[in-house]
Structure 1
Amino acid sequence: MQGSGREARIHYMAGTFRLLSDGDHVRCAATGVPIPLDQLRYWSVARQEPYVDAAASLIAEERARKA
């Protein structure tokens, strides 16, 4: 993977994602925790946000419902 130490820009799609700019991680939208791209499993297509785990995804979903 290129972009060591840099945050990647990603377009999230159903079941996959596309790298828009090189990097080796993204930041969880709910917690701010860095997520290595090879460990990225959770994201929202509608909000274009990555999540570190299912719990963080649920937190983001609940926030979105309140907004």
Structure 2
Amino acid sequence: MLMSNSDRAARLHYMANGFRVLSPGDHVACAATGHRIALEDLRYWSVARQEAYATAAAASEAMAPR
């Protein structure tokens, strides 16, 4: 039986030029805002922190020195 990945969070390994799916799903959560990001819309992440971000602004804010 095929399993649907809809409405399931994916687990990813973020790399410099892409990501690898560790556990299938259709979205990830933004580390800064908590918003749901569809995998096809995922553009921003941190390799060092292994986190996804919904927008460039959220990524910049999360990585800004404190």
Query: Same fold judged by TM-score > 0.5?
Result: yes
Partner of 1:61: 63
The partner residue of 1:19 within 18, 21, 26 is: 21
The DSSP-based 3-state class of the residue aligned with 1:57 is helix
Unaligned runs of 5+ in 2: none
Partner of 2:52: 50
Unaligned runs of 5+ in 1: none
Larger Rg: 2
Moved over 4 A (4+): none
Q: How many residues align?
A: 63
- The whole-number CA distance in structure 1 between the counterparts of 2:60 and 2:34 is 15
Q: When the two structures are superposed, what TM-score results if normalisation uses the length of structure 2?
A: 0.91
Identity value in percent: 60
Q: Which one has a larger percent helix, Structure 1 or Structure 2?
A: 1
Q: Does 1:34 align with 2:36?
A: yes
Cα distance, 1:27 vs. partner? 0.3
Partner of 1:8: 10
Give the aligned CA root-mean-square deviation in angstroms.
0.8
- The whole-number CA distance in structure 1 between the counterparts of 2:58 and 2:19 is 18
